Amino acid sequence: MASNFSGDKRDDSRKRRKCNEPNSHQGRCDSSRTFHAFWKRSSSHVALKRKGELQEQNKRLSQDIEAKKARLDEYEGQIQTSVAQKDAVEEELKSLQKSVEEKEDQVKQQEEKVTQLNEQYHKFKSLLEQKGFSVARRKKCQYNL
């Protein structure tokens, strides 16, 4: 019976029992072991439990921060592409405005040429009419004589 009280048998029984918890840990444990209410309320147990909860919260917060950083980087990339597109559109708008101004200047020059040609045409027409009247008078005068 002395062998029953030796540490050998107890160690063997612990080695055979494996943790049956869903989140099993390394090593072996007694799955039927329960905590007494005193230990559940003890400051060390509460502190360890709180430490585990805080580690889980820290892990979740770290994952959230990483996800938000990734989204932030994505948004910054979108903003940079939008700014680049906006700059390209502004440059195109400036070039279009410049070409419109050039076309307007060309139209003004053409209008000025047209008005000058109209004035010259009217002067020439009036000269032709005057010449026509004088020729007609001469002919009339020649016939009358």
Model pLDDT for residues 61-90, shown as the tens digit of each residue: 999 999 999 999 999 999 999 999 999 999
Q: Band of the pLDDT at 140, cuts 50, 70, 90?
A: low
- Tens of pLDDT, residue by residue over 2-48, are 444 444 444 444 444 555 566 665 556 655 666 677 777 788 888 99
How far is the CA of 131 from the CAs of 34, 51, 79, 85, 125, in angstroms?
Answer: 133, 117, 76, 68, 10
The SS3 of residue 48 is: helix
Structure tokens, 127: 């000269």
Burial class (CB in 10 A: 0-12, 13-18, 19+), 29: middle
